[in-house]
Structure 1
Amino acid sequence: MFPVGGVGVMLAGVAIGGVLCALLALALVRRTGPVAALAIAGLLWSIAIIGLITLLPADGAPGLVPAEGRLETCSWDIGGPAPDGFWIFSGGQRLLNAVVFVPAGTFLVVAASRWGKAAFLTVPVGFALLAAYSVGIEWTQLALARLDRACDVTDIIDNVTGAAIGVGVGIVLALVLRPWRRRRPPTAGAAAGETH
């Protein structure tokens, strides 16, 4: 039997993760600046949220899943039937699968752009890692029948599409926020209150 699950557990995990990531952002502000600190913490929080809502049973601990009810392979019916939304959100499952990856793509670009030209390598690598994360989630859902989740290639396509949209949003935000700018610390004379 899978011991935990349900909306309450997911929301508790989201809240705890949010508090931990807020503390991380506070710890990073002096080193990276506020925009990058929030983006790094936001990226980690969004990745944690994705894991919580995709790898915990949606309707509470499902108990035992009979062997005959377990899927042997992922569904390759691309764009096939999908349920209408899940737990808190309404709307189509495919839309939700895309939307949940948008913040991760957005925060990835804003966080990476803090380091200027290194973002040209970091963003594509990070995007590939988000795609690999989606594949890993679907594989886990297939391998662990006790999660009472279904592995579907369409979910991967939707997740990667959401991450790509997030990257686009992140590029726009990075150009507006310019996290690569650092506030310069005051000089020793200015800090001491000297005037000329």
Structure 2
Amino acid sequence: MFPVGGVGVMLLGIALAGVPCLALVAVLRRRTGSRWAWSLGLLLWSLATIGFLTLIPADGAPGVVYADERYYNSCSFDYGGPAPEGFWIVSGGQRLLNAVVFVPSGALLVLVLARWRSARWTIPVGLLGLGLVSVAIEATQQVLARLDRSCDVTDVVDNLSGAAIGVLVGLALLPVVRPWRR
């Protein structure tokens, strides 16, 4: 049984995930400069936030959910998904939340990778990596019935769209933040 769940657990996990990220920033600041250290710490925290939002049962601990008794027994490849009309956190619906949650990761990815000359190819590879994170989340939601979540290809598309928007935001922020400077 998966003994925890709900919005409170998600928020607690997100807050606690910030502690090691702050410690990492404190350690790296002197060696790499504050801007880059903060970019890396916030990128890792944004990825942890995505994990808590997507891999914790949404409505509290569901108890035992057997794989053969769950509502969706396979991943939905129908674009629009099983719950397109709304979600419980953002009034714009689940699809908006799926995109918005990946925007910070995309922007921070650019700020972290722009430090090196290889950023021209590492940023697209990093964007692909964020897409793979989304695929891994959906696969985990499908395999672990106890999460009481549904696997949906629409989520992957929305997540990757949000990450791409984040990359554009990060590119716009580069001249302002200049993470390569101390």
Residues 83-122 of structure 1 aligned to structure 2 (within 5 Å): 83-86=85-88, 88-115=89-116, 117-122=117-122
Distance of 1:119 and 1:136 partners within structure 2: 24
Alpha-carbon shift at residue 24 of structure 1 (Å): 1.0
Partners of 1:28 and 1:137 in 2: CA distance: 29
Aligned to 2:38: 38
CA distance in 2, matches of 1:174, 1:22: 22
Cα distance in 2 for residues equivalent to 1:13 and 1:143: 22
Deviation, 1:72, is: 3.2
1:151-180 Cα deviation digits (max 9, x unpaired)? 000000000000000000000111222112
Q: Is the 8 A contact 2:70 2:148 kept in 1?
A: no
The more displaced of 101-110 and 62-71 is 62-71
Q: CA RMSD in A?
A: 1.4
Q: Tell me the distance in 2 between the aligned counterparts of 1:71 and 1:84.
A: 18
Q: How many residues align?
A: 180
Q: Is the 8 A contact 1:32 1:114 kept in 2?
A: no
Find runs of 4+ consecutive structure 1 residues off by over 3 angstroms: none
CA contact (8 A) 1:70 1:145 kept: no
2:2 paired residue number: 2
Instruction: Tell which has more relative contact order, 1 or 2 (C-alpha 8 A, sep 6+).
Output: 2
SS at match of 1:138: helix
Q: Secondary structure at the match of 1:114?
A: coil
| Identical counterparts, % of pairs | 59
Equivalent-residue separation in structure 2 for 1:179 and 1:162 (angstroms): 22
TM-score, normalised on structure 1? 0.87
Structure 1 stretch 6-15 or stretch 62-71: which is displaced more? 62-71
What is the CA distance between 1:101 and its match in structure 2?
Answer: 0.2
Extract unaligned runs of 5+ from structure 2. Answer: none
Aligned AA for 1:179? P
Matched, 1:76 2:77: yes
Cα-to-partner distance string for 1:27-77 (whole Å, 9 max, x where unaligned): 111111111111100110000000001000011110112423253321111
Cα pair 2:4 2:60 within 8 Å, conserved = yes
Q: Deviations over 1:105-155 (max 9, x none)?
A: 00000011122x121122111111110000000000000111000000000
Bigger Rg, which one? 1
Q: Unaligned regions of 5+ residues in structure 1, if any?
A: 183-196
Deviation at 1:94, TM superposition (A): 0.2
